[in-house]
Structures are given as structure tokens and as C-alpha cells.
Structure 1
């Protein structure tokens, strides 16, 4: 019972309610105040954007007369929470879209951020924070990280309120699992029925659970909070993750292996080379071409360590790995053994090789 209680996970950590999601925002604008590291005059998009912006202030300047290297055209991205009210602040990311060398020291001019429906939901403006730099002079270049990418902490202001609509038109809430699993979905439905009463929830498929919403929508927030706080023991698919490049192996402790017999051995070949100098004992007068040479003597050694042979009954990957480690089997050899066990059909788990 204690082990089951420790393995229980809140529904809040297993999934989300359908309709509760973040919203992507995007926009394009201009960063000014760059010390000659902005877009070059051949970037027509930047010159047109500058001309359009100045026209908003009754300054009509043809784009072919704009030659400043202190500005850069950028794309702005942000994430709008599932619920937000007018005036809320959000973080924004700024990336260069032209040929600017660096955005360090720049300030983003007020830019509208739009959603997928092309409606403006936020405005972004403010000085950029760059996590790098780029300086060049006389052919010398010093650069750290990516100076053409920056952020503005709380630089976006929400202009249109958004609300998450959790209750579907049929009067039900839909709980969506992060990892689809029919057993876990059924356990969630049973746990909700135990807490809210029989018939309150039904597992629709391996990914979603349908939950009856409260009558007349009263107390929806408290109702959702109560459901999210419930805990179940999620079912897990047995997996063994192998990274042969780093020699890493990760497996669940309860991953089972059928009765097997393992015999493992290898041949080790080593080459030992000793170098010595061949020095002539007497060099006479006029002995042109006589010189010291280096001679290498190589010994080829072949070792065949004792084979490792063992028979296991019904066991787990954890027990097998511990026993092989006691036999001084290397991690890479253990990986090879597990792959062979999987090929033999005795490892009841998915092997994922990275």
C-alpha cells in the first residue's frame, strides 16, 4: 500500500482539460538604436518598414533615401496564457530577419502581436536583452552566442482578454492525457467516479476521459480544481533506452525478462611497440649518407578472457544489470547483451536506441 501511494500521480500532472492551451502570437517590427550593426541599405524590406513607420508621424521619406545601419527588421514571438486579461504582461522573443550583425543595445518599437485569426492580442515594446555580443575590426572578429536574438522580459502587454472554454457544447469536460494509455484512462475514470459519484466520468479512448460538468456551470473552477487534485497510479509501458554513443542504459526496475542463458566473451588484441635508435659505431672520414635511424619493434598480444556464462530464471532488467556488474561486465557489453536478449524474444519491453 505504501508503494502504491508513493507511485500515485495527480491528474494535473498526467494531462489537461481540452480547451486549456497556450496561444501563439507573432508580429514583425523594427529595432532601433543599433551602433552601426543593423541591416545594410540593400535590405529593401527594412527600408520600406522604416518609411512606413515614419509616415505615421507625417514624415514622408522615400525608402531609397533611408541608408541608416542603426535599425533592423525583426520578428517577435510570444505565448499568450490560456486565460489573460487586458493589461497583463508577457515575455517576448525578438529575432533578426535581415542581415544585421547584432541587436545589442537596440530598442523594439511598438509592435502589434497577432494570433492565428489575425486579430491583435498584445503590443510589444522595450529595450532588448542580448545574451551575446559580436565585435569586429580590421578583420578581427569576436563573437559570443547569438547576438541577433534577444528577449524583452514582460515586454508585451495584453490588449484583448482571452478565456479558456472548458465545457463542450454537450455539457461535458474532456480530460486529455499527455501519454495515451487505455489502462491509465480507465483508472482515471474510476477514480473520478469514486470521488464525484458513479457515472460522473467515462473513458472515451486511450487519450481522453469525458467528465460531466457541474449543473448550470456553477462552481466550475472549484470543480476542476477538485478533479485535478485526485491521484491515480498511471500504467507504464516497459521501455529500455540505450545510448550507445555514451554507454548509457536506462530501464524500469520492473521490466521483466523470460528465463535465459547468457554466454559472453571476447578477444582482446593489443600491439606493444618499442622504439630504439640504431647508431653507427664508427663514421669514417668522408662517410656521406651515414646517419642514425629509428627502429620499431612490435609485439602482438592476443588475450581471450574467460567466458561469462549464466542462467537466469524469471528476472528483471534491474537484477540482470546488477549481476552483470558484479561480474565486471562493462556497460557497453551489458548493452550488447540486452540487445541480444531482445532479439531472442526474452525481453518484454520496447528497446529504444538513441
Structure 2
């Protein structure tokens, strides 16, 4: 793995000197152009005996639902083995109009074992302000499978308690967007960086004239926009396709502690430092030593010694083996490829590599941010 990392390091060090230009749409998002989360509580019916059963929540929901249809019924007369109480979630994208449709996700909240074959009944979906923005209903698509035998054995594939209804919700209320109001469009960088914000502002002014764009801070650029909505949309399209060369990102090393994956950026440098790497292996082995016991019988005729019950005695052995420590020195301004080559030369494993990097950071010799996820 370290050898492969060394090859990647060399490629990254060559690539870092030539940063290609990106489209502006890949670097920023427009302020106010965002999606909104919706949530609702509903009931799924038509299940094949995999519902909530006698769950009080589901029985109460069915009673309330049926009463709104003009029928009088008591929860004691109902059985929810073919129904399930569910939470319904959806994402209302920007600029969606009344009558357009969005996908919904349905998840059980009770004892239902599977939603396969179910139908979601009419469910209002609310936003964070408590207003209803969409109505969901439709047949569920469930990718999971769950079966259970009479002897108690069961088999579950994927997640049968979560399903989706494609285009299952109809938008009933629009969300106002600041995109069409005000004198400015705000561009927010996906990765805040002062140098990149300045480069974006410079590219826009070079295309549309000085004063068109102003870098507000390291994250946002304010751009003068046309007042006419039609021209504003066309102007936003022109902005998205501008080529901008972003500044090189901060030197960073990312370590995944669960998988042992280490990603080192191309601009990582170290100051002069000496590293000693060694390995100590301690092995403990347990064994049982069996000895035959003896039985001594003393009588008038004398003493007789005979075989007795076996005697078990623990036998532990501890071996320690320490490999010779190997040292290497980093010169000033060592690059990524040299760093990995030096660590690779001592035969370090990924866990050893992480330990060396952490030690370099604590010593103040690592010119990079170390992130452990």
C-alpha cells in the first residue's frame, strides 16, 4: 500500500504545479437557491400481515382516518396487521411550482416488519414553519425483503421497513426565493478560500466590467444583477460557465481511522526532522502440562505407591522480539513524494505511517493539517 502511495505522491506533486481552470458552477452555489426538507406522518395500508398489529398508535391513526370519511368506528374493532404508521419525508427543490411532483421516502415508526406491497394514504407534508407544502400518496417501492419461518428463523435482505414513492407528492405551495429579488446575486464558494474568492471576483470583472463583482469575504462574492427576471436568469447562466482557476487548497492529510486509508495532499511539506522507527513484538503462549499423579497406600504389610489422577499444571511462555530501529532525516522543504519514499524505505505499515505523521505534527515539523475521520 505504501508503495502505491509513493507513486500517487509523485503524480500529485507533478499535478500540483498545473492547476486547471474550473467552471464557476462547479465552485459556487447561488445564495438563496436551496432545497427545503418536508416531513409528515401517515399510514400505509395493504400489507400482507407485516404491519403494526395491535399497536395503539396505528389503531388510533386508523380510527381518526376512518372517522374523517364519515364512519363511526372504535379502535377496539380494528386490527393493524395489514397497516403501518410511517414517517414520510421529501425534499422540495428550488423553484418548484404548484402541481409539480417530488419523490418521497416512507419509513416505519412502529412494529411493522415490511412495507412491501403497501400503499401510502394521503399525507400532508410540512416545512419547518408548520405550513403544508405538498401532499403525498401512492404505491411503495421497497427494495428490501424479510421472511420469517414458523420455527422462529428469519432472513432479512436490505431494509424492508423503508420504501419510496417516485413522484409521490404534489407541490401545493411555492417557496419564495430571493434569487429574483434585490440588486445583487450572491455566490457562495463550496470551499471557502480568500484567494479563490478574489480569483472569482477578478474573472467576473474581466468579463463584465470593473465593479460588477465584489468579494465580500472568503466565502461569498456579491455580483450586480439585472433587474429584469429574464435577463437575470440569462446572466446567471453566463456566470456559471465562466472559467476560473481556483487557488491550491490548504495542505492537508486525511486519515480514516476505521479503514486505515491515508490521503496526503500534494502541497504537504515538512521542516528538518529526524524520525526513528522500530517495532516491538511480544508473544504470549499458553500451554497445559499434564503430569501423572501418584497414590500412596500404607498398611500393615508396608507402603504401596500406585498411579493416581492426572495433574494439570499451567505452562506459560513469553517471547519478546524487537526489530532494530531505523532512522531517517527530512531535509528542509521536503515534498510529498520524498516524504512517502522515506517512510516506504523503512517498511512502515499504514498504522505506522499514521503514527509517524502524528509525531511530526506534534513536533511542529509537519506543514499540513492532519484530519482524522
TM-superposed CA distance for 1:204, in Å, is: 0.9
Distance 1:31 1:270, change over 3 A: closer
For 1:272 and 1:101, the matched residues in 2 are separated by: 48
Structure 1 SS opposite 2:341? helix
Q: Say whether the 8 Å CA contact 1:251–1:318 is kept in structure 2.
A: no
1:228 pairs with 2:227: no
SS in 1 for 2:177: coil
Task: Give the secondary structure class of the aligned counterpart of 1:233.
Answer: coil
What is aligned with 1:192? 204
Counterpart of 1:194 in 2: which secondary structure?
helix
Q: How does 1:284-299 map to 2 (within 5 A)?
A: 288-289=307-308, 298=317
Other-structure match for 1:326 = 345
Out of 253, 257, 275, the residue aligned to residue 270 of structure 2 is 257
Deviation string, structure 1 residues 87-144 (Cα, Å, up to 9, x no partner)? 3231110111223232222111122222233333322212212232333344514142
Partner residue in 1 for 2:223: 211
Deviation (angstroms), 1:163? 5.7
- Does structure 2 conserve the Cα–Cα contact (< 8 Å) formed by 1:254 and 1:318? no
Q: Distance in 1 between matches of 2:316 and 2:195?
A: 67
Query: How far, CA to CA, are the matches of 1:83 and 1:314 in structure 2?
Result: 51
Partner Cα separation in structure 2 for residue 140 and residue 244 of structure 1? 38
The answer to whether the Cα contact below 8 Å between 1:84 and 1:163 also exists between their aligned partners in 2 is no
List per-residue Cα deviations over 1:62-86 (Å, max 9, x = no partner).
3332234211221111111102233
Query: Does structure 1 conserve the Cα–Cα contact (< 8 Å) formed by 2:16 and 2:267?
Result: no
Tell me the residue number matched to 1:111: 123
Task: Give the match's secondary structure for 1:307.
Answer: strand
Structure scoring higher RCO (CA < 8 A, sep ≥ 6) equals 2
Structure 1 unaligned spans of 5+: 281-285
In structure 2, the partner of 1:31 is 44
Please give the alpha-carbon distance, in whole angstroms, between the structure 2 residues aligned to 1:239 and 1:318.
Answer: 14
Secondary structure of 1:190's partner? helix
TM (norm. structure 1) is 0.85
Write out aligned runs for 1:34-183 (5 A): 34-43=47-56, 45-144=57-156, 145-162=158-175, 164-169=177-182, 171-183=183-195
RMSD: 3.1
Looking at structure 1, the residues matched to 86 and 129 of structure 2 have their Cα atoms a distance apart, in angstroms, of 21
Query: Matched residue pairs, number?
Result: 348
What secondary structure sits across from 2:178 in the alignment?
A: coil
Alignment counterpart, residue 316 of structure 1, candidates 321, 335, 353: 335
1:269 CA displacement? 4.3
Residue of structure 2 in register with 1:242 after alignment: 255
Contact 1:102-1:148 within 8 A present in 2 as well: yes
CA distance in 2: counterparts of 1:119 and 1:297, whole angstroms: 71
CA contact (8 A) 1:279 1:292 kept: yes
Distance 1:5 1:289 in 2: 84
Gaps of 5+ in 2: 1-14, 294-304
3-state secondary structure, aligned to 2:179: coil
Contact kept? 2:270, 2:333, Cα under 8 Å: yes
Which residue of 2 is the match for residue 283 of structure 1? none
Task: Find the aligned partners of 2:282 and 2:222 in 1 and give their Cα distance.
Answer: 63
